[in-house]
Amino acid sequence: MKSDLRNSRMPSVFRVKTRQADHGDIRRPVFLVRNICAERKSRAFFDLGFGMLGLGSIEMTCCSVKRPIILLLLILAGSVLVACDRQEAELPAVAEKRVVKDDLGRAVRLPETVTRAVSLAPSITEMVFAAGAGDRLVGVTSYCDYPAAAKNIQKVGDTQSPNIEAIIAVRPQLILVSTASQLEAFATALEGQSAAVFVVDISKLDDVPDRLRRLGQIFGTGERADLAAIEIEQRIAAVERRPRPERPPRVLLQISEADLFTIGRDSFITELVERAGGASVTAEIPGGYPKLNKETALALDPEVIILSDSSDNRNPNDAMKNSSAVRSGRVYRVNADILSRPGPRLADALEQLATLFRQEPAGN
Amino acid sequence: MKRANYIFLLLIAGLAAAVAVAVSVGSESVSVFAPDEQGRAILFDIRIPRVLLGACVGASLALAGASLQALLRNPLAEPYLLGVSNGAALGTLIAFVLLGDVAGARPVLAFAGAGIATFAVYQMARSKAGMNVERLVLAGVIITTFLSSIIVLLTSLLDAARLRGYTFWLLGDLSQATYNGFYMTLAAAVAGTIVLTSQARALNLMMIGERDAFDHGVEIGRVRMIIFGMASVLVGTSVAASGSVGYVGLIVPHIVRLVVGSDNRLVVPMSAFAGAIFVVLADTVARTAIAPRELPVGAITALIGAPLFIFLLRRS
Amino acid sequence: MLEARNISVRYGPCDVLREVSLSLSEGRMVALLGPNGAGKTTLLKALNGTLPAAEGSVVLDGRPLAELSRREAARRVAVVAQENETKFPVTVVDFVLSGRFAHGGAFGWERAEDVAVAERALAECDLEKYGSRLMNQLSGGERQRVVLARALATEAKILLLDEPTANLDLAHQAMIFRLVRGRCDAEGFAAVVITHDLNLAAEFADELILLHRGGLFAAGTAEEVLSEANIAEVFGVRSLRDANPATGKVRITPIF
């Protein structure tokens, strides 16, 4: 139900809209971020009275764009006041910075110890927990429901429309985003602020243990992260040691029933299916999650149909009613969350798929 | 009248040709004359119902557009402008969310939504001094944006997974074509052609002016109710079957008028055929352009329609 | 044929027309005179039912107008309204044929008879060569003649004309009045004509009705209605009255 897949790379109208909204909404909040960070150096310059003046002026920003410099100053003052009141007690020590490369190859400056992080994708939340740093998360998306402890963390919007003000309010040092969430624009907008933006892009199965170790380094939980990574590597290896069918079954992974969305060349699930011993019939189709023409779906005649389980995906599409898979009863539902979140539970998905691919047709 | 007959023949032949082309191409190549078992399944279960549905949806939307334009004396009027499409879309969304897969819920609520939207626009546009066109169009814009905001609100509040299909469908998409959808839209399109053509002569007068129409014996209120009611049925069934395919109701009657003039006795039925041809061809592009993936047909109609419309607008 | 009995018409709270009566019988041509805003057009609209009478009634051939269907009324009463425009390209012949609506069936393709009537109407209005022209390409005067031709094409015996000569040159002004007069004399038509040309009214009309501020000010022959005193009171213009040497009819000359 609440998976990255559905909310991120899906070619839906939502996505386009969200992107635009991001650009549009970002300006004002960004000022606030800048101000909060500037505040540390210049706090002494502002007294309470000036701060209140500033608060009063915040409303004006909505109506007037003239005299931006004056307004900027006033907002600055206002935000300083807010920031002073709330932040005094537990400001993270302005520690020595270190530089880490993220998955877009950006050099990200991080404090030596990261104690406050925000995750903007359910898969990343799962990764951070698996890396033993779940207690550092101070903000997650409303889709982050696994592990159970994630549910109690402050929500800062959803993957497509994170609430930037809410993110700033939890004062993160680090914001983890996934490229899958189309958050590059957001990442750029927060670039150079007090909070570092780090992109975690998991595009294949082997990225999972690798990124676990990387998160371990970032959070200083290297040991636990390494254990988790090793466990996953062993599980992957175990699956690959299992006896395989002579010929990989031809698999169609259906994401939604009526609108026949499926997995394409660029989806990590395509690789997952292959590693599990199947051959995705849509492996050559360009894109991550293409909407497949029903004629082609029929002609592809899959031997196994995997349904990413959700309320709009209970049965195979009509076009497949005479396919080998349906005739032989090889239609299976797999929990959409483990399948579609590029996180530690991909190992579960891999094991399940491998088992399903080896199952004999029910009829025989 | 001779020329009109030729054009009718040409349109019928054109529709037959468009359907033939559409049936013979697709993301899979299938021999139309000697299909194997799989080929038959592709042709009869998937391609043909989709082509036929496209034809009926095109006819319905063009009919609704042509008659509303004459009624409102505005060549730019469209089901969208009046909020009729959005009413139908909201009705379908409600059916989708509340009733799930209950058979027949979509078209009924789509019709109800279209009808309510039309009625609301009509009520808003009415005043003691009668109905004036500017007021009606303004009311349509208000209703359209109001309904859009409800749609956006509902789609943001509701479970994203269930609405994923809905958003694709909102753009106008024929991929979920079934024979039942085809029968439903066919019935609406045939009824629409007959009913609206029967009012075409009254529409000719309405198009010149409501006072003119009244003076010459047109029961304005009755004609208006017939046109609004029929347009609601046409838009409701089309939207329920294929979402909101845009520009058809605007472009098609416009082109027909360029060829045959403004006589609605020709414009209305010819728009039905021309609309069918337009959507069948547009959907053929939608199905094949990036095969085996596909595009929503609404994107294609807008892609062809918008520049063409600007061209026509500048020329006239 | 057509009779208005003490009708009042209101827009909201104000009376636009107060207790006006008018009787139109076969062969009669009535001129409706009065300054702008006197209620002339309102009276005309009330006579064909466009505006309902708040009080009083309009009776057409012995039956209250309100009881007749629009189609029945349109077959008997034709209106030539002031300017109308359409954004759609309509040809002159299609426009005139639209006047045959009340005679047509449901799907309404014109019969040969309809076309013949339309062609005659076009010819009478000096428009034979205009058939295939588009309405929005015509001059104001030409368009006005087309509108008259359409009214004639309805074959209604009662014509209600709202300033039919407003945009016309001298020749066509006279042509239209002669045409209407001729129909009244020879074919039993009856007409109500709104005009600002007092002399044309005096020349052609059997009866003149002078409206002032929504009420009936004077009615009768040209000699009775067009007195210098009446004109001074209603129009606020001094004038000189004599007789047209050519026809002997009343002639009014304003004094500037």
Distance from CA of A325 to the nearest CA of B (A): 15
Q: For testing the chain B interface, which of C79, C82, C88 should be mutated: the one with the most B CBs within 10 Å?
A: C88
CA distance A113 to A219: 7
In this prediction, residue A86 carries a pLDDT of 42
Q: CB contact, 8 Å: C214 with chain B?
A: no
The subunits that touch chain B, with at least 3 C-beta pairs less than 8 Å apart, are A, C
Per CATH, domain A4-21+92-231 is 3.40.50.1980 = yes
| CB-facing half-sphere around the CA of A357: CA atoms within 13 A | 30
Q: Please, which residues have CB within 8 angstroms of residue A109's CB and are 6 or more apart in sequence?
A: A97, A98, A99, A196
In this prediction, residue B127 carries a pLDDT of 67
CA distance A10 to A308: 14
| pTM, 2 dp | 0.81
Q: Do the Cβ atoms of B73 and C106 come within 8 Å?
A: no
Q: CB contact, 8 Å: C95 with chain B?
A: yes
- Most confident of the ranges B99-103, C28-32, C46-50, C100-104: C28-32
Q: Do the Cβ atoms of B217 and C91 come within 8 Å?
A: no
Distance from CA of B53 to the nearest CA of C (A): 28
Q: Do the Cβ atoms of A299 and B45 come within 8 Å?
A: no
Q: Do the Cβ atoms of B73 and C50 come within 8 Å?
A: no
Q: Is A66 helix (H, G, I), strand (E, B) or coil?
A: coil
CA distance B211 to B130: 11
Token digits for A7?
A: 């909310």
| CB-facing half-sphere around the CA of C75: CA atoms within 13 A | 8
Q: CB contact, 8 Å: B312 with chain C?
A: no
Host domain of residue C31:
2-254
Distance from CA of C157 to the nearest CA of B (A): 13
Residue of A nearest to B164 (CA): A12
Q: Is B118 helix (H, G, I), strand (E, B) or coil?
A: helix
Whether C181 shows a pLDDT value over 90: the answer reads yes
Q: Please, which residues have CB within 8 angstroms of residue B89's CB and are 6 or more apart in sequence?
A: B110, B113, B147, B151, B170, B239, B243, B244
Chain B residues whose beta carbon lies within 8 Å of the beta carbon of residue A285: 292-293
- Among B246, B6, B3, B203, residue whose Cα is nearest residue C88: B203
DSSP type of residue C110: P
H/E segment holding residue A127: helix A122-130
CATH architecture of B2-315: Orthogonal Bundle (1.10)
Q: CB contact, 8 Å: A112 with chain B?
A: no
Cα distances (angstroms) measured from residue C2 to each of C7, C28, C58, C64, C65: 13, 11, 7, 10, 9
Q: What is the CATH number of the domain that holds C36?
A: 3.40.50.300
The subunits that touch chain A, with at least 3 C-beta pairs less than 8 Å apart, are B
Q: CB contact, 8 Å: A259 with chain B?
A: yes
> From the CB coordinates, do chains A and C have 3 or more pairs under 8 Å?
no
Q: How open is the CA angle A284-A289-A290, to the nearest 5 degrees?
A: 70
CA distance B228 to C248: 58
- Summarised one tens digit per residue, pLDDT across range A110-150 is 898 999 999 999 999 999 999 999 999 999 998 899 999 99
Distance from CA of C136 to the nearest CA of B (A): 11
Q: Please check whether residue A308 is in contact with residue A255, taking contact to mean a CB–CB distance below 8 angstroms.
A: yes
The set of long-range contacts for C65-73, using a CB threshold of 8 Å and a minimum separation of 24, is C69/B217, C69/B219, C70/B214, C70/B217, C70/B218, C70/B219, C70/C102, C71/B217, C71/B219, C71/C102, C72/B217, C72/C102, C73/B217, C73/C48, C73/C49
CA distance A150 to A137: 8
The predicted complex's ipTM stands at 0.86
Q: Is B75 helix (H, G, I), strand (E, B) or coil?
A: coil
Domain boundaries, chain A: 4-21+92-231, 23-87, 244-358
Which amino acid, A283? A
Residue of B nearest to A161 (CA): B156
What's A244-358's CATH class? alpha beta
Token digits for C157?
A: 């015996």
- Summarised one tens digit per residue, pLDDT across range C137-172 is 888 888 888 999 999 999 999 999 999 888 889 998
Strand pairing class (C2-11; C55-60): antiparallel
Band of pLDDT at residue C105, cut at 50, 70 and 90: low
Q: Do the Cβ atoms of B293 and A298 come within 8 Å?
A: no
Token digits for B25?
A: 């191409």
Query: What total number of domains does chain C contain?
Result: 1
Residue B202 CB neighbour total at 10 angstroms: 28
Q: CB contact, 8 Å: B135 with chain C?
A: no
Q: Do the Cβ atoms of B293 and A285 come within 8 Å?
A: yes
Residue C60 CB neighbour total at 10 angstroms: 22
| CB-facing half-sphere around the CA of A301: CA atoms within 13 A | 11
Whether C19 shows a pLDDT value over 60: the answer reads yes
Poorest-pLDDT segment among A130-144, C29-43, C100-114? C100-114
- Among A304, A339, A317, residue whose Cα is nearest residue A4: A339
Q: CB contact, 8 Å: A320 with chain B?
A: no
Q: Do the Cβ atoms of C90 and B214 come within 8 Å?
A: no
- Give me the numbers of helices (H) and strands (E) for chain C, helices first please: 9, 12
CA distance A296 to B287: 11
DSSP type of residue B27: S
- Crossing angle of helices B48-72 and B2-24, rounded to 10°: 140
Q: Is A280 helix (H, G, I), strand (E, B) or coil?
A: strand
Q: Per residue of chain B (316 residues), what is the pLDDT tens digit?
A: 578 899 999 999 999 999 999 999 998 888 888 888 889 999 999 999 999 999 999 999 999 999 998 988 877 777 877 788 889 999 988 887 777 666 678 888 999 999 999 888 878 877 655 556 677 778 888 898 999 899 888 877 766 555 656 666 778 889 889 999 999 999 999 999 999 999 999 999 988 888 889 999 999 989 999 999 999 999 999 999 998 888 899 889 999 998 898 899 999 999 999 999 999 999 999 999 988 888 889 989 988 888 877 776 676 5
In this prediction, residue B104 carries a pLDDT of 76
Q: Which residue has the tokens 């609605």?
A: B264
Distance from CA of C175 to the nearest CA of B (A): 24
Q: Per residue of chain A (364 residues), what is the pLDDT tens digit?
A: 444 444 443 433 333 333 333 333 333 333 333 333 333 333 333 333 333 333 333 333 333 334 444 444 444 444 444 444 444 344 444 556 789 988 888 888 889 899 999 999 999 999 999 999 999 999 999 889 999 999 999 999 877 777 888 888 888 999 998 875 455 566 666 665 678 888 899 989 999 999 999 999 999 999 999 999 999 999 999 999 998 888 999 999 999 888 889 999 999 999 999 999 999 999 999 988 898 999 999 999 999 999 998 877 889 998 999 899 999 999 999 999 999 899 999 999 999 999 999 887 654 4
Q: Is A140 helix (H, G, I), strand (E, B) or coil?
A: strand
Residue of B nearest to A258 (CA): B176
Task: Return the bridge partners of A177, or none.
Answer: A199
Report A:265-304 residues touching B (Cβ under 8 A): 282, 285-287, 290-296, 298-299, 301
Token digits for A140?
A: 């997650």
Distance from CA of C91 to the nearest CA of B (A): 8
- Summarised one tens digit per residue, pLDDT across range C68-92 is 999 899 999 999 987 666 677 888 9
B166 φ, ψ (degrees, to nearest 5)? -60, -40
Residue of B nearest to C153 (CA): B216
Chain A residues whose beta carbon lies within 8 Å of the beta carbon of residue B46: 294-295, 298, 319
Distance from CA of A256 to the nearest CA of B (A): 8
